[in-house]
Amino acid sequence: MSYKRIFTIVLDSVGTGAAPDADKFGDEGSDTLGHIGEAYKGKLALPNLQKMGLSNLRGQAIEGVPAVDSPLGYYGKMTEISAGKDSMDGHWEMMGLPVTQPLDFFPEGFPDELLAKIADFSGRKIVGNRPASGTKIIEELGEHQLETGDLIIYTSGDSVLQIAAHEEVIPLDELYRICEYARSLVNGPKYTLGRVIARPYVGTNKDNFTRTSHRHDYSLEPTGQTDLDYLQKNDIKTIGIGKISDIFSGNGLDEVYHNEDNMDGMNHVDHVMAQDFNGFCFVNLVDFDSMYGHRRNPIGFGQALMDFDQRLATVLEKLKEDDLLLITADHGNDPGFKGTDHTREQVPLLAYSPSMEKNGSLGVRDTFSDLGATVLDNFNVEGTAKGKSFLSELI
Ligand SMILES: O=P(O)(O)O[C@H]1O[C@H](CO)[C@@H](O)[C@H]1O
Ligand SMILES: [Mn+2]
Ligand SMILES: [Mn+2]
């Protein structure tokens, strides 16, 4: 059987337990879903994800979300082979391009030489220059920025250079120009960074600074062809919702929607589901990560999962016989864990189509690339040859 439309929803950072190589990242014991369940003390309710087998795929069920006797479809986990644990690593790997060369990251701050160029280009001084939480650093340096117009540059455990800028001090078009310039400095060979991120915010003082949805990610150009490119070349329609287009620098996508937030993302999913097409719709919902994971807020994270779960009900209802829905994640971001960085975890893999006559386990996949391999297999397209299709297991 082949499906006419495949929808893949990436719940950004919704990991399901430490990966076998978590020790290399200092992430042993991390478990995003498990620790959210614990924080809710049995009150987490995810009826639709539960029906799909969200706890069946785990060794230990999420508190409040028991495993079910007969899941709707197929369930499993995927292990990441990429060198990093950022969104880019996860999504590129899903699309057959694992990031095997570690990218640069700067736990001690960026080299002076690099910052001097950004200061020269922008005519602004630079403050910050260290790993930090984005909300904490604007609390700390935002008022200084209001007074001086200095740029706030910071990083994290990921390969990222982030520029926080008050929208009324450094207007968006200026911020975006500075970020584009910074991007041009970190495309290798000397410095290779996964992402430059514009982080605009508004507010009058440190107690009310709020980041806006005008965030923009400038990713490294994919270093090779991805499954998206192969699909597109073979006239299979490709649609990106949320930050998918940013992550692939627009490559391999026929149609693109940006999200204001998760619910807006689900509106886009509903909109695309109402269209008739033959192809692949790749969705990223980032609020889990940016609003709750990095903020180490398990209650907010759980609420965002419950909100998603409600919207999932409509998606499940509207799926057609020849549609396939895949739900997964790109890395962990355990809100019960130390620090504020992503966590190296395995990710859930849930597969459902109303045409399925059976259910069962897809096991633990050796790489996220199995997802892209399955999509290519379905549309009969030759691609990167990374990953192993599980299409024939879905019956
Ligand atoms: O703390 P904020 O600014 O949300 O930053 C986070 O967002 C980046 C991209 O996900 C991560 O690398 C982490 O630094
Ligand atoms: Mn991510
Ligand atoms: Mn993140």
Query: Domain with 385 in it: what CATH number?
Result: 3.40.720.10
| CA of 87, nearest ligand number | 2
What atom of ligand 1 comes closest to residue 162's alpha carbon?
Answer: 3
What atom of ligand 1 comes closest to residue 133's alpha carbon?
Answer: 1
275 in Cβ contact with 267 (< 8 Å): no
Tell me, what's the pLDDT at 192? 96
State the Cα–Cα distance between residues 264 and 213, nearest whole angstrom: 11
* Pocket of ligand 1 contains residue 328 by CB under 6 Å: no
133 and 154 together in one domain: yes
Q: What six digits make up the tokens of 155? A: 């990083």
b/e string for 371-383 if b means 16 or more Cβ within 10 A?
bbbbbbbbbebeb
247 and 381 together in one domain: yes
Q: How many residues does the chain have?
A: 395
260 Cα: distance to centroid of ligand 3 (angstroms) = 16
28 and 163 together in one domain: no
The answer as to whether 106 is a domain residue is no
Tell me the percentage of the chain whose pLDDT exceeds 70.
Answer: 100
Q: What six digits make up the tokens of 130? A: 């260290």
- Above 90 in pLDDT, residue 384? no
Per DSSP bridges, beta strands 151-155 and 195-202 are unpaired
State the Cα–Cα distance between residues 301 and 286, nearest whole angstrom: 11
Complete DSSP assignment for 50-90: HHHTTTTTSSSPBTTB---SS-SSEEEEE---SS--SHHHH
**In sequence order, which residues have a C-beta less than 8 Å from that of residue 254 and are 6 or more positions away?**
232, 237, 238, 239, 279
Q: Is the peptide bond preceding residue 189 cis, with omega within 30 degrees of 0?
A: yes
Q: Which domain, by its residues, includes 229?
A: 5-101+221-393
In which band, very low, low, confident or very high, does the pLDDT at 175 lie, cut at 50, 70 and 90?
very high
- What does the pLDDT look like over 215-251, one tens digit per residue? 999 999 999 999 999 999 999 999 999 999 999 999 9
290 and 143 together in one domain: no
* Pocket of ligand 1 contains residue 194 by CB under 6 Å: no
- What does the pLDDT look like over 329-357, one tens digit per residue? 999 999 999 999 999 999 999 999 999 99
The CATH number of residue 149's host domain is 3.30.70.1250
How many distinct structural domains can be found in the chain? 2
Tell me the percentage of the chain whose pLDDT exceeds 90.
Answer: 97
The answer as to whether 78 is a domain residue is yes
12 Cα: distance to centroid of ligand 2 (angstroms) = 5
Report the run of H or E that residue 279 belongs to, with start and end: strand 279-285
Q: Give the mean pLDDT of the chain.
A: 97
Last residue of a domain, one of 219, 246, 270: 219
* Pocket of ligand 1 contains residue 284 by CB under 6 Å: no
**In sequence order, which residues have a C-beta less than 8 Å from that of residue 137 and are 6 or more positions away?**
128, 152, 154, 164
Tell me, what's the pLDDT at 385? 85
Tell me, what's the pLDDT at 102? 84
* Nearest CA among 341, 333, 21, 14 for reference residue 157: 341
128 and 272 together in one domain: no
Local structure of residue 160 (DSSP, 8 states): E
Tell me, what's the pLDDT at 307? 98
Q: Between the CA of residue 363 and those of 136, 185, 390, 393, what are the distances in Å?
A: 40, 42, 10, 11
Ligand 1 atom 7: residue of nearest CA? 290
Tell me, what's the pLDDT at 358? 97
351 and 258 together in one domain: yes
167 and 30 together in one domain: no
Last residue of a domain, one of 219, 251, 281: 219
The answer as to whether 317 is a domain residue is yes
126 and 250 together in one domain: no
155 and 258 together in one domain: no
193 Cα: distance to centroid of ligand 1 (angstroms) = 14
Which pTM value belongs to this model? Answer: 0.94
116 and 94 together in one domain: no
Last residue of a domain, one of 194, 219, 244: 219
State the Cα–Cα distance between residues 81 and 101, nearest whole angstrom: 11
Ligand 1 atom 13: residue of nearest CA? 156
Tell me, what's the pLDDT at 247? 94
The answer as to whether 350 is a domain residue is yes
Question: How many CB atoms sit inside 10 A of residue 320's CB?
Answer: 13
Q: Between the CA of residue 242 and those of 154, 220, 323, what are the distances in Å?
A: 24, 17, 21
What atom of ligand 1 comes closest to residue 164's alpha carbon?
Answer: 3
231 in Cβ contact with 381 (< 8 Å): yes
336 and 303 together in one domain: yes
309 and 359 together in one domain: yes
In which band, very low, low, confident or very high, does the pLDDT at 101 lie, cut at 50, 70 and 90?
confident
Tell me, what's the pLDDT at 291? 96
